[in-house]
Structure 1
Amino acid sequence: MMQKHLVSLVVPVFNRDAFLSETIESVISQTHTNWELILIDDGSADESFKIAQNFAQNDSRIISAQRKREPKGAPTCRNIGLDMATGDFMMFLDSDDLLSVNCLKNRVAKLTAEPDLDFVVYQTALFDAQTMLADRLWSSLKHQSDLQAFVDFEGWCISSTCFRTDFVKHYRFFETAKCLQDWSFHIEILKSKPAYQKFPESAPDVYIRAGHSDRISQTNTESLERVKSRFDVLDKVELSLQSEAELSMDDGLLRQYFLYLQNVAIQRSKSEFNALLKSMGYFTRRKSFKLSRIKFFIRLHSTIKSSGLGFLNGLLFRLNRHVFMPKLAGPTRRIIRLDKPFKVK
């Protein structure tokens, strides 16, 4: 018998033919069978769209579509899927995520039992694609202020949430953002003081492939356009949060500026670095001793690199992390390692 509540799952797809079938199969295998899977292709050059079409031809619950408008990117695809969704509840997935068989069943049960909740948040785990062992949680989910947790880059990921559709349709992803889209999307939602519940002790019900996350090390190979987009999103969020007096942004957003700019200073030419720095509203708008120290160390990185002494940047990087600015230069505390890794089925 078909379950009462329809769940919409929106997945942006771009060149994921190696993993897409597994993601779709994990949805097909759900014990809650009343769902619609909306796959929005972003102009894939591989077999991704063909794979999605083949599944759609064999299962009426699967919808395969292509992005027909600009700009290109996952946030546009997610917004298109958001407009197409007809379910009572809604989730966003990445095209290489995997769901446990009871993922939809458990999330729907909670939202059905608690009609006043706008969304729920469950645990997600990262797994190694070679061993299929999940050994880390994306986030502890135990923060007292989740808005602060997102500012500190310690919040949950996009697939952790299951929304009531009539609630989430009031929000949109930043379509011009080439990165940090999920992060800024959740911040906009949390600003509105929604009703939600987290389940930090829940068994992970979505599995994310390690190595496909938006890591700071990827800045090394990013185009300047993408780097600029990253800072534009940070700047936009910082402006939107200025009225949130209870937030401490110096150890959150400022930290991200420092970590990413540090890599830009090391990897890019001095002229490219200076041009990027001048274009950033954050640095022209704010003044503080901490910000002055950051500017000094970032410019020092750039000067060392342009002087042909790049090997010294590694030493400076370690000194910043452990001596000069450990709170700003150290790694985030988001990832939680599991004592007992488990096999993803």
Structure 2
Amino acid sequence: MNPKLTVITPNYNKGDAVIQCVQSVLNQSFEDWEFIFIDDGSTDGSFEKAIESADGDERCLFLKNTTGIKGGNASRNLGIEQSKSELIIFLDSDDLMMENCLMDRNRDFEANPDLDFIVYPMGIFNDTIGDSDFISNIPTSTPDLHRFLDRDVVWLISGPIWRKSTLESLGCFDLSLHSQQDYDLHVRALIVGFKYRYIHKSPDIFYRQNTESLPRKSSQSVDHFRQRFQMILRHADLLAGAEKLGKKERLLLARYILDIAQMMRWHTKTLGKNALKEALEMWKQTYDLGLVDKNKYGVGYSYLRFKHNMMYNRLGFLQRYLEKSFRKNLGDYIFSPVNFSCRVKLSDYARN
């Protein structure tokens, strides 16, 4: 008989943190689960430590990523393929579950059989649970899709519990992305219109914030900017196909592209003049796709040339004047980072 629930954990060089992660699964009050742990070529002995910490529990399956494609998304997709249950939760190998997590989430799904996924907040910690009282995010009156498109990440990788069939319908994780794979998956689920519910309660999974990962280290690289740009274009296409590409969605997509294009200036040393050229080509797509009108395209074009011209760094007064002028003319097309994601507390929900 197949288990009711699968926990899928990708791992790469998480050291001793994997021991706590595995133990948090073994300590679950709900026992009808399988645990699939996929290692992505670790060199620090963490794969062996994870196996040892499971102490031969037959519900645990330890695999190595042999797909030929490195990265957490390839490992998660392998886990989905290998899973035998109807419900799936993703747990990173340095994160932790509370002992009633699986019991509560399984019960919520049994009470809501019409849903495709259910979402919960994640707690944040550094070394031990309780050393931070922040959570991943809180509900607001703004539609979740709009918040994601505006990079106000409403939930993190372990926030949802999924139906396996829902993940398969989405095509699982996008293997072309080296970062923001979970962001992309969540946006696609919202565009498609899968039925879900957000349950705001005390966190039952905790995200370890003080560890480093390859995606975090390289998230500002040229390749990551290019991948992110292509991701936005795919989202635009999906929105258009779902007849959801309205005025607000166009603004948010164009804003994201403009922000990536202006950040390409960070790579002028390696790309030379091609950094500006590529940035302008990215921005041109917003006009070609009808995300901006001719006037906003022209202002954005000039803005990118300004941002990429390092000469203005030596002319502080002129730089500040032009920056202020462009921001006024571009208005909402200028991205201003939100303060919600991983910067709120459970009690903050009462004020929204």
Normalized against structure 1, the TM-score is what?
Answer: 0.83
1:9-35 deviations in Å (ceiling 9; x for gaps): 112212212422222222122211222
Q: Label 1:150 to 1:311 Cα distance change in 2 as closer, same or farther (>3 A).
A: same
Instruction: Say what the alpha-carbon RMSD is for the aligned residues.
Output: 3.5
- Distance in 1, matches of 2:11 and 2:161, equals 20
- Distance in 2, matches of 1:273 and 1:122, equals 40
Q: Label 1:262 to 1:58 Cα distance change in 2 as closer, same or farther (>3 A).
A: same
| 3-state SS of 1:241 partner | helix
1:188-229 deviations in Å (ceiling 9; x for gaps): 2223322221113x1111211235699x9966x743222211
1:192 aligns with 2:199: no
Gaps of 5+ in 1: none
Partner residue of 1:277 out of 250, 272, 279:
279
Moved more, 84-93 or 50-59: 50-59
Q: In 1, are the aligned partners of 2:23 and 2:54 still within 8 Å (CA)?
A: no
- Distance in 1, matches of 2:177 and 2:204, equals 28
1:337 aligns with 2:336: no
Q: Label 1:64 to 1:183 Cα distance change in 2 as closer, same or farther (>3 A).
A: same
What percentage of aligned pairs have identical amino acids?
22
Match of 2:45 in 1: 47
Q: Label 1:39 to 1:131 Cα distance change in 2 as closer, same or farther (>3 A).
A: closer
1:42-61 deviations in Å (ceiling 9; x for gaps): 22232222223324552222
- Distance in 1, matches of 2:158 and 2:58, equals 23
| 3-state SS of 1:59 partner | coil
Give the structure with the higher percent helix: 2
1:239 aligns with 2:242: no
- Distance in 1, matches of 2:315 and 2:192, equals 46
Amino acid paired to 1:9: V
Aligned-residue offset at 1:258: 3.1
Q: Label 1:309 to 1:232 Cα distance change in 2 as closer, same or farther (>3 A).
A: farther
- Distance in 1, matches of 2:210 and 2:264, equals 21
Moved more, 271-280 or 64-73: 271-280
Amino acid paired to 2:77: N
Q: Label 1:14 to 1:218 Cα distance change in 2 as closer, same or farther (>3 A).
A: closer
Q: Label 1:315 to 1:125 Cα distance change in 2 as closer, same or farther (>3 A).
A: farther
Match of 2:257 in 1: 257
Q: Label 1:120 to 1:42 Cα distance change in 2 as closer, same or farther (>3 A).
A: same
* Correspondence 1:16-27 to 2 at 5 A: 16-27=14-25
Amino acid paired to 2:296: K
- Distance in 2, matches of 1:104 and 1:246, equals 38
Q: In 1, are the aligned partners of 2:191 and 2:238 still within 8 Å (CA)?
A: no
Match of 2:145 in 1: 147
Aligned-residue offset at 1:238: 1.9
Amino acid paired to 1:292: G
Q: In 2, are the aligned partners of 1:141 and 1:199 still within 8 Å (CA)?
A: no
Aligned-residue offset at 1:303: 0.8
Q: Label 1:15 to 1:260 Cα distance change in 2 as closer, same or farther (>3 A).
A: farther
Moved more, 40-49 or 246-255: 246-255
Normalized against structure 2, the TM-score is what?
Answer: 0.81
Q: Label 1:143 to 1:21 Cα distance change in 2 as closer, same or farther (>3 A).
A: farther
- Distance in 2, matches of 1:320 and 1:55, equals 59
Partner residue of 1:59 out of 47, 57, 60:
57
